[in-house]
Amino acid sequence: MRKFLAFPKEFVWGCASSAYQVEGAWNEDSKGPSIWDTFVHAPGHVVNGETGDVALDHYHRYKEDVALMKELGMDAYRFSVAWTRVLPAGTGTINQAGLDFYDRLVDELLKHKIEPYLCLFHWDLPQALQDKGGWPNRDTAYAFAEYARVVTERLSDRVKVWMTHNEPWVAAMAGYFGGEHAPGIKDVSAGIKALHHLLLSHGLAAEAIRASAIQPVKVGITLNLNPVHAASQSKKDRDAASRMDTILNRTTLDPLLKGTSPIQQFAIGKLLSRSLIKPGDLEKIRTLDLLGVNYYARAVVKHDPKFPVVAASQIHPEGNEYSGMWEIYPEGIYELLTRIWKDYQPNCDIMITENGVPVPDGLDFDGRVRDERRIRYLRNHIAQVHRAMDEGVPVKGYFHWSLMDNFEWALGYGQRFGLVYVDFKTQKRTVKDSGIWFANVIKENGFTSNGK
């Protein structure tokens, strides 16, 4: 049955982005190099050798981009600060010109009544800190807290919501274990160490932000989470699914929401954890006013001894649509939200901080972008958020990934996630049909479901 899905009056509708994926101006105004600058400039890391050197040129076009957000009626904008604009060498000398940019951006947002959700780290670690070992080095966590303090001192008179990290799991595992992201290291123990220090840095930064904020603020984190399904009902596959769930979800959720770490369940985690997790670390990590959930896909897994650590690998089941990157599985967002609520009962706000789909969009003969697939995706996913809310999960907001097509990391510009189409040669922005659809959802604070 088709029906109107209404959202609470104070529900926050927004969109998300990250510094490296949109800003460009990679070496302007005394910005220091980050690990992503280094990574993209070395051959073989990104499809077609593409880089974020120019990206969407948002550094210069932020006013036009904020105007687009306003046009679509966004309540909030989640963006990240580039650490190396603020502290070019990661610690030490502050670069005022870098802070000035975020100052202007925040003012522009507030001028249009768009609430800034500021994220301190979306993967662009200063190269100078990578040269000293990067996230596997515990000192990096302390450097992060210093950086958090510097940004807080400058912007907390206007910014009320502070996210420490975006997807620390991906930063650690894709950066230091899988190696497909910067800094491109392939070492399982480096990945485990990086993850612990990223989480520790969340706790240290939360302390620094609260201590130096000019007004009461909320401190949160954004996690990538995936519901895990067993490929079959066999005991082996079910055990594999449970191990994968621990690796993908519990390694971040347990420390942040329970103050425990599940890594000792794995031989390598047990070996490392003695020297890695110092007394007091887990208490520090467990501090959250806002849990941001990023949802893109589920993982369907089978027992597979070939894979290190988890002895499990992913299969791609039949029956659903697939995008250029993942299976499309809307129920997953409902499964995640209800699971978090049931298993953890978080004593903090919960929001969807990213959700979206890559579609090979293009301009039609009349200049319109008819991205029906994204509209279907949004309708089905947001309906599942509503379903979780109906069952009592107090979700406070939904941020779409992303406002505009942008630089999709190792996949370059080929994967388009925007509500707004970008011609990367001319930098012309065109609102897609999905942007118009989403704007209407915001305006009506809900939409009519397709009955499924």
Active site (annotated) includes residue 354: yes
91 or 294, CB closer to ligand FCB?
294
123 or 266, CB closer to ligand FCB?
123
Applying CB under 6 A, the residues found at the interface with ligand FCB are 18, 21, 166-167, 170, 224, 294, 354, 401, 408-409, 417
Transcribe 10-60 into DSSP letters: T-EEEEE--HHHH---TT-TTPPPBHHHHHHHSTTSSGGG--SSSTT-HHH
Residues forming a β-bridge with 51? none
Q: How far is the CB of 402 from ligand FCB (least distance, A)?
A: 7
Q: How far is the CB of 286 from ligand FCB (least distance, A)?
A: 23
Rg, C-alpha atoms of the chain: 21
Q: Angle 58-72/433-444 helices, nearest 10 degrees?
A: 50
21 or 251, CB closer to ligand FCB?
21
272 or 378, CB closer to ligand FCB?
378
Q: Which of 50, 167, 335, 408 is an active site residue? A: 167
Identify the three-state secondary structure at position 270: helix
Range list of β-strands (E), 167-265: 218-224, 228-230
224 or 252, CB closer to ligand FCB?
224
17 or 95, CB closer to ligand FCB?
17
- End-to-end C-alpha distance for the chain, whole angstroms: 7
Q: How far is CA 399 from the centre of its chain?
A: 10
108 or 354, CB closer to ligand FCB?
354
Structure letter (DSSP) for residue 411: G
Q: How far is the CB of 259 from ligand FCB (least distance, A)?
A: 25
Number of H helices, E strands in the chain: 16, 15
Cβ–Cβ under 8 Å, residues 250 and 225: no
Give the torsion through C-alpha atoms of 56, 57, 61, 64, to 10 deg: -10
Q: How would you class 166 by CB atoms within 10 Å of its CB: exposed for 0-12, middle for 13-18, buried for 19 or more?
A: buried
Q: Which of 50, 108, 335, 354 is an active site residue? A: 354
Q: How far is the CB of 167 from ligand FCB (least distance, A)?
A: 5
Number of Cβ within 10 Å of residue 425's Cβ equals 6
Cβ–Cβ under 8 Å, residues 231 and 175: no
Sequence-distant (6+) residues with CB within 8 A of 407 are: 20, 21, 22, 50, 51, 52, 55, 56, 413
Give the torsion through C-alpha atoms of 245, 251, 252, 254, to 10 deg: 90
Number of Cβ within 10 Å of residue 270's Cβ equals 11
Q: How far apart are CA 14 and CA 376, in angstroms?
A: 18
- The catalytic residues are 167, 354
